[in-house]
Amino acid sequence: MQPPLFLVVVLALVFAWTNGVHDAANAVATSITTRTLTLGRALALAAVLNVVGALFGEGIAHTVGSEIVSPTRDHLGLGAVLAALLAATAWNLVTWWRGMPSSSSHALLGALAGAALAAGVQVDQSVVANKVVLPLLASPVVGFLLAWLLLRLLLAVFAHATHANGLRGFRVAQTVSASAMALGHGLQDGQKTMGVVVLALVAAGDDPGSGLPLWVKVTVALMLGLGTWAGGRPLMRTLGRRVVQVDPVTGFSAETTAAALLYLTSYVFTVPVSSTHTITASIAGAGSAARGRRAPRLRVLRRIVVVWLVTLPGTALLAAGCYGAGVLLSRLG
């Protein structure tokens, strides 16, 4: 028995909300840690910019909604989409509760692939390799290196500035970089959930047309923003304090680098990357440039990287299990 489309759409919106809660720290953790912004102002600013960012661009939504798997009513039913959303939402909640910066994006993509395979649908391996796995591996490395270079450049340019003036200037600049990061997060993560909603519409036999329906864009954007406004405080402690000691210069460098990568991958390459991966690696890179290679806390980073590596296979297996359980229950019923 297929679940109703309404239930799947509601669960997609719940996932978008958990995505906002989970990833709020990506945009505001360093700004709050350096006291550039208060918690309330930072979350409100990030929430609004998440909504705005999610309303721009559709390339990633089409990648998620049609390129990884080929959605048809006969071969990828709503049950598979529901299983993927259940697995990805559960992963978000568990990693948020444990304070581990896991990727909501790759949780969703891994769950989609696992549910599709369990449903007997062919997954485009070239798309998964080139547009999921390769960005997964490359974005943290690129983020680390670029943030390291940017921080070293800033230290050279402002070498003769007084400490007080430098901190004051970079606190102002960090407000801008935090805003850019929040906008980029909305741009990337909003489209992924929109793509899943379109996938559900096609699986239900509806034809959404070539573009994203306006109601899909607006509802997903609002739920993502509301989740960000709720905030993920356990992850703020991890990104703001536990990875490396952050000051306004380090925070500005990390946020600027991560935001630039999010815009580049969204508009130029139209590939889904993780805002969590990019900001975490950028924080570590900027911290290394400022305080030496031993500045990042390697024990914390090792745990984070392990979570990153198991997210795709873990959510795939979880989604496949959810789909199998659903099929079994429907037969028993």
pLDDT for residue 241 is more than 60: no
Q: Which residues have C-beta within 8 Å of that of residue 233, sequence separation ≥ 6?
A: 25
Q: How high is the pLDDT of residue 232? A: 61
Neighbours of 165 (CB within 10 A): 10
Average per-residue pLDDT for the chain: 84
Model confidence pLDDT, tens digit, residues 135-189: 888 999 999 999 999 999 998 888 766 555 656 778 888 889 989 998 998 998 8
User: What would the mean pLDDT of 259-284 be, rounded to a whole number?
Assistant: 88
State the pLDDT confidence band at 307, using cuts at 50, 70 and 90.
Answer: confident
Under the banding of pLDDT at 50, 70 and 90, the label for residue 258 is very high
Question: What is the structure's pLDDT at 163?
Answer: 55
CA dist 15 and 36 (Å) reads 30
Mean pLDDT of 186-202: 89
213-222 residue pLDDT tens? 899 999 999 9
Q: Dihedral of the CA atoms 190, 49, 309, 14 (nearest 10)?
A: -50
**Residue 45's domain spans which residues?**
5-332
pLDDT band with cut points at 50, 70 and 90 for residue 71: low
pLDDT at residue number 1: 45
Give, to the nearest 10 degrees, the angle between helix 5-33 and helix 275-291.
Answer: 10
pLDDT of residue 333: 64
More confident: 107 or 158: 107
CA–CA gap between residue 207 and residue 163 (Å, rounded): 59
Q: Residue 327: its pLDDT value, please?
A: 84
pLDDT over 80 at 74, yes or no: no
Q: HSE of 231 in the Cβ direction (CA atoms, 13 Å)? A: 16
How far is it, in rounded angstroms, from Cα 167 to Cα 163?
6
| pLDDT tens readout for residues 40-63 | 888 888 899 999 999 987 888 888
Residue 221 has what pLDDT? 95
Whole-number pLDDT of residue 159: 74
Give the number of domains in the chain.
Answer: 1
Burial class (CB in 10 A: 0-12, 13-18, 19+), 63: buried
